[in-house]
Amino acid sequence: MRDKLERLTEVDFNKLSKLINTNYGIKLPISKKLMIEGRLRKRLKANSIDTFNEYVEYVFSDIGLKKELVHMIDVVSTNKTDFFREPSHFDYLTQEILPKFLKEKSGKPLKIWSSACSTGEEPYTIAIVIEEFLKGIRSFDYTIHCTDISTQVLKKAVDGIYNLERIEKVPIDIKRKYFLKSKDPQKNIVRIIPELRKKLTVRRLNLIDDLYKTPHDFDIIFCRNVLIYFDKPTQESVINKLSKKLRTGGIFFLGHSESLTGIKAPLKSLKPTTFVKI
């Protein structure tokens, strides 16, 4: 870049912020300008563009809207996640949902949707919890549908490869069962075992799209720590579109920093951030 001190102006930031909010529902207040500036430098470099102003003009061009917008959202969107994050949901899965499903013996697979799956830690945690519950006894099968807005994080979810520090807090017996260490001692990475990787189907999805091209009648939907980026009307719209994909009696999980206060949806609270479709 010719000028390393070149900065994203407030005018250009506001243009991008409005574009991102319109197309993806993500709110970007001016306080995020420095963060966005840092993340977008990767895209300037990838496109051999010298200034933020040139980049913004490119994004708004016909070719930019077709080719660059999806890459821009990849670097702009926040994808913080961990294995066994917010463990009370997985406790509820083990203590309430799985025993009930096992007792019903419907013969159908348990259908789960991780609607903002990020790099895969959430759906793989779900798979591990189910495997631990079943303990190798195939009393029922299960599938985990995974979606996210970012193509980059979805690729990581498919690969199931993580740095060792990502599983630092995972119990040792779980590590031994479900993670494979690299054969190269120079690489501090692990990979989810293939049996679990096969349980995931991965698709890109923008949650503010009018229609969700996903399966129906999920037994469980996880929608955690994504609504915080939307305004209230968008939150309500997303919750209701997700709820349409959930069977009556199905369970809906929100992140612990989120709530349905002021939102009309066919969901009844069972406990904090845990709901049932009515």
CATH of domain 88-158+196-277: 3.40.50.150
CB 184 within 8 A of CB 147: no
Q: Which is the catalytic residue, given 12, 43, 74, 148?
A: 148
- C-alpha distances in Å from residue 105, one per residue of 110, 139, 248: 10, 8, 17
- Name the 3-class secondary structure at 275: strand
Q: Which is the catalytic residue, given 39, 166, 197, 247?
A: 39
Q: What is the mean pLDDT of the chain?
A: 91
Residue 140 confidence (pLDDT) above 60: yes
Kindly report, residue by residue over 172-208, the tens digit of the pLDDT: 999 999 999 888 888 889 999 999 999 999 999 999 9
- Name the 3-class secondary structure at 113: strand
Residue range(s) of every CATH 1.10.155.10 domain in the chain = 10-76
- CA 135, 137, 140 angle in degrees (round to 5)? 110
In the structure encoding, which two tokens stand for residue 38, read together? 């840092």
Mean pLDDT of 235-244: 96
Residue range(s) of every CATH 3.40.50.150 domain in the chain = 88-158+196-277
CATH of domain 10-76: 1.10.155.10
**Contacts for 58 with CB less than 8 Å, ≥ 6 apart:** 47, 49, 64, 68
pTM above 0.85? Answer: no
Distance, CA of 26 to CA of 251 (rounded, Å): 25
Told to judge if 148 belongs to the known catalytic residues of this protein, a careful annotator would answer yes
Mean pLDDT of 93-107: 89
Distance, CA of 261 to CA of 61 (rounded, Å): 40
- CA 62, 74, 119 angle in degrees (round to 5)? 150
- C-alpha distances in Å from residue 124, one per residue of 1, 98, 179, 214, 239: 40, 16, 11, 19, 23
Phi, psi of 66 (to 5 degrees): -85, -40
Residue 2 confidence (pLDDT) above 50: no
Query: 230: which strand partners?
Result: none
pLDDT of residue 81: 77
* Nearest alpha-carbon partner for 74 in 151, 156, 13, 148: 151
Told to judge if 204 belongs to the known catalytic residues of this protein, a careful annotator would answer no
